């Protein structure tokens, strides 16, 4: 079963890869003033998409028991899962900034969790670098 969430997650992953390739501020040498506002807006949108993707991935990993973090970080997965399920303030804020309907996201996350649990969908990939 191909869920609508998969293209969303894949496009968000692509945005994360693009965002990671942007030079660090000290490497940009004041080029930010010369950037087209449309480029700045696109990069900002990519950042919000990536933040939402990580938040959703934490929630799904917590719910399915995949990518189990160390006990001291498990609270983040639980918090993300609880917030997504209750359409809490972080979910609503991230959805607003990423231009995603919170109710639609919740339905997609529920479906993805069931698909992963039933073995019909691979779990989200673990993060590269940083917190595992």
Closest-CA residue to 81 (of 98, 104, 97, 65): 65
Q: In this predicted structure, what is the pLDDT of residue 100? A: 93
Higher pLDDT, residue 25 or 92? 92
Q: In this predicted structure, what is the pLDDT of residue 124? A: 64
Span 68-126, pLDDT tens digits: 767 767 888 899 999 999 999 999 999 999 999 999 999 999 998 988 888 776 666 54
Helix or strand (DSSP H, E) at 121: none
Q: In this predicted structure, what is the pLDDT of residue 53? A: 92
As a whole number of Å, the end-to-end CA separation of the chain is 28
Q: In this predicted structure, what is the pLDDT of residue 129? A: 41
């Amino acid at each position: 079963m191909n869920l609508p969430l998969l293209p969303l997650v894949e496009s968000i992953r692509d945005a994360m890869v693009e965002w990671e390739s942007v030079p660090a501020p000290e490497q940009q040498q004041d080029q930010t003033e010369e950037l087209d506002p449309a480029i700045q807006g696109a990069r900002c949108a990519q950042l919000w998409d990536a933040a939402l993707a990580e938040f959703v991935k934490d929630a799904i990993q917590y719910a399915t028991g995949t990518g189990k973090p160390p006990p001291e970080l498990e609270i983040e997965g639980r918090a993300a899962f609880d917030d997504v399920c209750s359409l809490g303030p972080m979910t609503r804020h991230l959805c607003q900034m990423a231009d995603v309907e919170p109710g639609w996201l919740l339905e997609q996350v529920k479906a993805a969790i069931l698909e992963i649990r039933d073995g019909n969908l691979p779990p989200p990939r673990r993060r590269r670098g940083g917190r595992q």
